[in-house]
């Protein structure tokens, strides 16, 4: 990839999104990071991108608010123009929510929030941004290893990500004639602040998961970021409609 590539990373204010933004920047990609309300976190990502010699800017986006996508697309177009282009090369759909609980405790509003954000929001954001995607662009949707293995109290979240994977395969066929590659990345347990930071802060949980992982530990956000950046690279230009798990061999 060259310096003229531009990526949009949703939920780039923390965790996997920040890791992806930094990894892309180290490969010469200019990065736009979005946040839902954590402007300080997004600016910290920009600082870290700049620390590795990259260029980044921040936009606000709530992917659960589909009605805002038209105005967001206009703001994105304006930022692209400031960078001397009208095209987006890489879209990383990382932003999402997880609400967990056993079957009997799942409320309708919780179900609607997860599906409305992870599936509805992702789908309509892609629909809104496809006109801006360059010929040969890349769409990378962040899923989860939980679509392969099971864990208690994760049914709604897992189902939403399984839908994202099915969406990725279908859109790969639809957008293939434009040379646009669509894939999903499925992280395993990773030390971020997702779900209250359990994988990062709970030593007992980390130890238990390490014992069930081929490589003997939970992942780090920069490892997921490197996988996303690699999937976006020319080196994997013949890969589309795939689910690529990045879990260190968790729960085999």
pLDDT digits (tens, 9 = 90+) for 190-249: 988 766 666 666 788 888 889 999 999 999 999 999 999 999 999 999 999 999 999 999
- Give the number of domains in the chain: 1
Quick one: pLDDT band at residue 44, thresholds 50, 70, 90? very high
Is 13 contained in some domain? yes
| % of the chain with per-residue pLDDT over 70 | 96
Does 251 map to a domain?
A: no
Whether residue 41 lies inside any domain: the answer is: yes
Question: Does the residue 207 lie in any domain?
Answer: yes
Q: What proportion of the chain, given as a percentage, has pLDDT over 90?
A: 90
Q: Which of 202, 216, 201 is nearest to 250 (CA)?
A: 216
Whether residue 94 lies inside any domain: the answer is yes
Domain hosting 38: range is: 6-246
**What H or E segment, with its residue span, contains residue 127?**
helix 122-129
106 found inside a domain: yes
Q: What pLDDT does 193 receive?
A: 75
In a domain, 110, yes or no: yes
Q: Which of 100, 157, 175, 187 is catalytic?
A: 157
In a domain, 1, yes or no: no
What is the rounded distance in angstroms from the CA atom of residue 133 to the CA atom of residue 100?
34
For the segment 76-85, the average pLDDT, to the nearest whole number, is: 97
The CATH code of the domain that includes 233 is 3.40.50.720
Question: Counting Cβ atoms within 10 Å, is residue 151 exposed (0-12), middle (13-18) or buried (19+)?
Answer: middle
Provide the pLDDT for residue 196: 66
Confirm whether 157 is a catalytic residue. Answer: yes
């Amino acid at each position: 990839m060259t310096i003229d590539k531009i990526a949009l990373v949703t939920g780039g204010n923390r965790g996997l999104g920040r890791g992806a933004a930094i990894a892309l920047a180290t490969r010469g990609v200019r990065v736009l990071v979005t946040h839902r309300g954590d402007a300080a976190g997004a600016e910290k990502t920009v600082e870290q991108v700049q620390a590795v010699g990259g260029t980044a800017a921040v936009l606000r986006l709530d992917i659960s608010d589909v009605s805002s996508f038209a105005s967001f697309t206009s703001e994105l177009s304006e930022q692209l123009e400031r960078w001397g282009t009208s095209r987006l090369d890489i879209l990383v759909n990382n932003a999402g929510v997880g609400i967990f609980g056993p079957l009997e405790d799942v409320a309708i509003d919780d179900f609607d929030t997860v599906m409305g954000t992870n599936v509805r929001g992702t789908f309509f954001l892609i629909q809104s941004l496809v006109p801006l995607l360059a010929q040969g662009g890349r769409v990378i949707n962040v899923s989860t290893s939980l679509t392969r293995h099971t864990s208690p109290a994760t049914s709604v979240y897992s189902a939403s990500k399984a839908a994202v994977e099915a969406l990725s395969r279908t859109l790969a066929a639809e957008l293939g004639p434009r040379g646009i590659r669509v894939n999903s990345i499925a992280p395993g347990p990773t030390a971020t602040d997702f779900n209250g930071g359990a994988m990062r802060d709970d030593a007992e949980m980390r130890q238990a998961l390490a014992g069930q992982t081929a490589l003997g530990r939970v992942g780090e956000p920069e490892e997921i970021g490197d996988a996303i950046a690699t999937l976006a690279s020319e080196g994997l230009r013949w890969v589309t409609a795939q689910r690529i798990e990045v879990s260190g061999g968790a729960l085999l």
